[in-house]
Amino acid sequence: MLRRNIRLRREYLYRKSLEGKERLLYEKKRKIKEALQEGKPIPTELRNEEAALRQEIDLEDENTAIPRSHIDDEYANATERDPKILLTTSRDPSAPLTQFVKELKFVFPNAQRMNRGGQVISEIIETCRAHEFTDVVLVHEHRGVPDGLIICHLPFGPTAYFGLLNVVTRHDIKDRKSIGTMPEAYPHLILDNFKSKLGERTANILKHLFPVPKADTKRIITFANQSDYISFRHHIYEKQGGPKSLELKEIGPRFELRLYQIKLGTVDQSEAQIEWVIRPYMNTSKKRKFLGD
Amino acid sequence: MATKSEASLNLDLDLLHRLKSTEPPVWLAPRAELSETARKASKIIFSYLRTYAPKSPLDQLLIEGFDAEQIWQQIDLQSQPLLSSLKREVKKFEKKPEEIGKIREVLEGEKKVVESVGKVLEGERRVLAEESDDFDEDLDDGLDDDDEEEEEEEGSEGEEEKKGKGGAEGGIEDEFLKINELQEYLEEDEAREYGLKKDSNDSRKKGGRRVLDNEEDEDEDEEDEDEEELGVFGDSDDNEEEDEHRQKLENAGYEDFFGSKRKKAPKKNLKSIEELEEDSGLDDEEDEDEAVETKKNDNLSTHEKQSEQLRAEIEKMEKANLDPKTWTMQGEVTAAQRPKNSALEVDLDFQHNVRPAPVITEEFTASLEEMIKKRIIEGQFDDVEKAASLPSKAPRELKELDENKSKKGLAEVYEEEYVQKTNPAAAPLTFSDEQKKEASMLFKKLCLKLDALSHFHFTPKPVIEDMSIQANVPALAMEEIAPVAVSDAAMLAPEEVFAGRGDVKEEAELTKAERKRRRASKKRKFKAEATKRMTAKKARDNTLLNDNDGKEE
């Protein structure tokens, strides 16, 4: 188990190091392809290597044509199996926080909740690797109000750090009967307005927390981005009457997520490379939108 | 009373002297006579104090048959309330030392007693308590004898005593809430307020005293009731001072609270004007001039009035310019340079560098839900898609066993087998073979057509001659269903029947040389074949080796 991990990690790092060269090659091939398509002469710097590259282009198929980065590799095998999530909290959680985590357990299908106790983060990650979990989700709080969410994808995957705002939990709603029980079917997903590259990456991370649903489920989870604040909503719909008439009923907690960091490693790797971090102190940060539109 | 007290006093003193004179070591061992004298002495002292503690339940200290603990308890009963009131007295004297002087005058007469008793009892433990008790008694005496003049000052003390006793009985007080202190403070406050009107009130009080006498009884009753509950407003049975206070409260008017307008208002005005003068730095003369001028307002024309106003404004602004600027106008200001908490009062204007967090309004939720509904109706979701996995092995062909009962009987099965062996052409083809053959034939035709269409240089595939066994059966039998006539013509041509030369000899007919010849020719053939095979094999091996080399590389 340990040696396998070490080998996997070494391969991963090797592929990561090759990326630079691959990218160069890809760029050259792309230029040649363009030149051939448009009927223009091939650029002079590529004349020597043109023949070899042309051969390679011919032999390519759709898998090999796209340059693979280690970033995409993290989720390459994610679609083959259903995700398995472990939910836990920071140490000494308050009662409202434990309630919130219980609700989240039902939101993510195939999720398990664990008491934090006095465990260290590295221990948690070790046990998750041993039991083949795909994701670990940690929830933090401030005086009873949940205020932080950390999603860590497991085989050395990326870690996304979110801040939570405007949290409304199911426990807050007093009228128990109207809200009913939470359905546990695999939900459909809506990821709206994740247009930039970073947005795509975040959408990917959030998407792979959920398994492949059946086409006819009535449960729908929405992550809608508006000026870098992602709104999480959870609905059940019913098509009454004829077409175009739809009734939405909101169930489940609702909160706003705000991404502030993505790290290219698991939670316990504090020295991992930071893919993106929020910089609010810059003068232009008010004008810029990072997650798209 | 005096003579009696003197005689008894001498006796007591005697007893006490005796107690005092005993050597300290003598006290260590219990002795009957010592204890007797001590008891008697304490009884005497108790009875002394009895006069000044009217509320103690015991008339006499009971010593016969009681042990030390019980006697001590009795003494405690008497002295506890006195102790607490005395503490308060001492505190009061701390604040107002002049009071002590007054008391001293009153106590002149009884001073001797105080001193003598005090001296004798210095060694004993109860000295302090008794002295305090004595003072208390003296105060009480003083009150009884005093004139009206002193009642005001001492009235409060008397009240406090009573209140002290009442308070202890009330059980409300603890170390924090001292109702007596509260009352004291209230009265001080009132005295301060009413201080201005004290003199006038005094006369009123004296005049109305007799009138109030009737009311006093009622008041006393009320007070007694109150005493048991709270004791807030005191419980002085003897004191009329309290009533007067109450009267003052009830009849308080505007002037008592706010003072007379005439006195204070002009004072304030004068004060403010003086301040302004100091700040502005104007000459007194100018001020006076201005004051004089303003008084003549009615005589000026409108133009002059306007110019006056302008001038006043200009001077105000000039004055403001000369002043040091307020901190908000001073550029960079640290916290030390501005007054405390002043930054909270001013509207500071600065740019926030962070976009504010979104407020979730109804419209926001509505727009979100609109978007969701649209997506659902379109069916456009961003679900995770399962990637088609590449098959690692070819799917195994599973032969399906038909579980149904065979429709053909066993005899028919044997019949078909026989027919197949003898007459393969006539045998009916099986189901799966038929289909397979049909499919393959169709596919071959299709491929042929496509090849013809798609290749520039089309070479049609060589026609594979279909091998079919021609049975040497008379043609008529094959071609006709019902043989009408039988013909001799055979299907096969004579060459097809036998191909070979004429000299065919059997083994038995051969001569020895011919036999050898045959064997030699056979051998030759065999050898040729063998060598051919060997060379073919070698060639194959060589190519394999080459391939392997290539692979390893």
Number of CB pairs, chain A paired with chain B, less than 8 A apart:
84
Of A188, A246, A281, the CB nearest to B383: A188
State the pLDDT at residue B148.
46
Q: From the CA of A70, how many Å to the nearest CA of chain B? A: 18
**What confidence tier does B150 reach under pLDDT thresholds 50, 70, 90?**
very low
User: What's the whole-number mean pLDDT along residues A101-115?
Assistant: 95
Model confidence at A31, pLDDT cuts 50, 70, 90, reads confident
- Of A237 and B232, the one with more pLDDT: A237
B360/A166 Cβ within 8 A: yes
Of A190, A208, A285, which is closest to B375 when you measure between CB atoms? Answer: A190
Question: Cβ of B358 and A226 within 8 Å?
Answer: yes
Cβ contact, residue pair A79, B372, below 8 Å: no
Indicate yes or no: CB of A222 within 8 angstroms of CB of B372.
Answer: yes
Please judge whether A207 and B382 are an interchain contact, meaning their C-beta atoms are less than 8 angstroms apart: yes
Report CB contact under 8 Å: A227, B355.
Answer: yes
Mean pLDDT of chain A: 89
Cα–Cα distance between B333 and B330 in angstroms, integer?
Answer: 7
User: Is the sign of the CA dihedral A153, A154, A155, A160 positive or negative?
Assistant: positive
Asked if A79's CB is within 8 angstroms of B386's CB, the reply is yes
Mean pLDDT of A56-79: 76
Which of B357, B368, B387 is opposite residue A165, by nearest beta carbon? B357
CA dist., res. B372 & res. B366, Å (int): 10
Which of B36, B55, B250 shows the shortest CA–CA distance to B161?
B55
Q: Which of A102, A292, A111 is nearest to A187 (CA)?
A: A111
Quote the tokens at residue B237: 């049975």
For B353, the closest of A78, A79, A285 (CB atoms) is: A285
Specify which residues A190 forms β-bridges with: A222
Tell me what the mean pLDDT of segment B167-172 comes to: 53
Question: What letter would DSSP give residue B196?
Answer: G
Q: Which of B360, B377, B385 sits opposite A244 (nearest CB)?
A: B377
- What confidence category does residue B219 fall into, taking pLDDT thresholds of 50, 70 and 90? very low
Model pLDDT, residue B389: 67
How do the domains of chain A map onto residue ranges? 1-67, 85-277
- Render pLDDT for B184-201 as a digit per residue (tens, 0 to 9): 889 898 888 876 555 555
DSSP-derived letter for residue A138 is E
Which of B374, B378, B381, B386 is the best residue to mutate to test the A interface, defined by the most A CB atoms within 10 Å of its own CB?
B381
User: How high is the pLDDT of residue B430?
Assistant: 66
Comparing alpha-carbon positions, the chain A residue that sits nearest to B384 is A212
Which stretches of chain B sit within 8 Å of chain A by CB? Answer: 352-355, 357-358, 360, 368-369, 371-373, 375-377, 381-387, 389
Q: Using an 8 Å CB-CB cutoff, list chain B residues near A285.
A: 353-354
Contact A189 B353 (CB under 8 A): no
Q: Considering only A213-227, B96-110, B124-138, B518-532, which range has the smallest mean pLDDT?
A: B124-138
Which residues, listed in sequence order, are joined to residue A146 by a DSSP beta bridge?
A141
CA distance B16 to B37: 8
Kindly list the residues from chain A whose CB atom is less than 8 angstroms away from the CB atom of residue B389.
80
pLDDT at residue B12, rounded to an integer:
75
**In the structure, what pLDDT confidence band is assigned to residue A96 with cuts at 50, 70 and 90?**
very high
Identify all chain A residues contacting B368, using CB atoms and an 8 Å cutoff.
Answer: 222, 224, 231, 233
Asked if pLDDT for residue B280 goes beyond 70, the answer is: no
Q: Tell the residue number behind the tokens 């003494």, with chain if given.
A: B75
Mean pLDDT of B386-413: 76
Which range, of A89-103, B213-227, B372-386, B402-416, averages the lowest pLDDT?
A: B213-227
Q: Are A84 and A109 in contact (CB under 8 A)?
A: no
| Closest CA relative to residue A12, chosen from A83, A76, A62, A81 | A76
Residues of chain A neighbouring B360 (CB-CB closer than 8 A): 166, 231, 256
Distance from the B478 Cα atom to the nearest Cα atom in chain A, whole angstroms: 59
Q: Which of B352, B367, B368, B370 has the most A C-beta neighbours within 10 Å, making it the best mutation to test the interface with A?
A: B368
Q: What is the DSSP string of B216-243?
A: HHHHHHHHHHHHHHT-TT---SS-SHHH
List of residues 6+ apart from B542 with CB closer than 8 A: none
Q: Which residues contact A226 (CB under 8 A, 6 or more apart)?
A: A193, B358
Q: Which chain A residues are within 8 Å of B369, Cβ to Cβ?
A: 235, 248
Which of B72-81, B244-253, B297-306, B413-422 is predicted least confidently?
B244-253
Beta carbons of A275 and A263 less than 8 angstroms apart: yes
Instruction: Give Cα separations from B206 to A151, B199, B371 (angstroms).
Output: 89, 11, 91
Higher pLDDT, B400 or B172: B400
Shortest Cα–Cα distance, B283 to chain A (Å):
55
- Whether the CB-CB separation of B242 and B234 falls below 8 Å is answered with yes
Contact A233 B386 (CB under 8 A): no
Minimal CA separation from B378 to chain A, in Å: 9
User: Does the pLDDT of residue B83 top 70, yes or no?
Assistant: yes
CATH superfamily placement of domain A85-277: Brix domain (3.40.50.10480)
Which residue in B has a C-alpha nearest to residue A168's C-alpha?
B360
What band does B115 get if pLDDT is binned at 50, 70 and 90?
Answer: low
Q: Is A101 exposed, middle or buried (0-12, 13-18, 19+ CB in 10 A)?
A: buried
DSSP track, A38-98:
HTPPPPGGGTTTHHHHHHHHHH--HHHHSPP-HHHHTTTTTTTS---EEEEESSS--HHHH
Q: Which residue has the higher pLDDT, A253 or B214?
A: A253
DSSP B508: T
Q: Cβ contact (<8 Å) for A227 and B375?
A: no
- Answer whether B41's CB lies under 8 Å from B12's CB: yes
A266-270, B80-84, B158-162, B344-348 — most confident range: A266-270
Which candidate, A64, A67, A44, places its Cα nearest to that of A56?
A64
Distance CA B29, CA B503 (A): 171
3-state class percentages of chain B: helix first, strand second, coil last, to nearest 5:
70, 0, 30
Write out chain B residues lying below 8 Å of A281, CB-based: 353
> DSSP class of residue A184?
-
Q: What is the mean pLDDT of chain B?
A: 72
Average pLDDT (A198-208) is 94
Which residue of chain B comes nearest to A255, CA vs CA? B360
CB-CB under 8 Å, B376 with A220: yes
Q: Which residues from A are below 8 Å from B372, CB to CB?
A: 190, 220, 222, 233, 235, 248
Q: Give yes or no for a contact between B33 and B1, defined as CB atoms under 8 angstroms apart.
A: no
Do the Cβ atoms of B353 and A280 come within 8 Å? yes
Chain A: residue whose CA lies nearest to B390: A80
pLDDT surpasses 70 at A55: yes
- Among candidates A248, A247, A251, which has minimal Cα distance to A233? A251
Chain B residue closest in CA terms to A249: B369
> In terms of DSSP bridges, do strands A254-263 and A159-168 run parallel, antiparallel, or are they unpaired?
antiparallel
Task: Give the least confident one: A266-275, B7-16, B167-176.
Answer: B167-176
**Which of A248, A249, A289 would best serve as a mutation to test chain B binding (most B beta carbons within 10 A)?**
A248
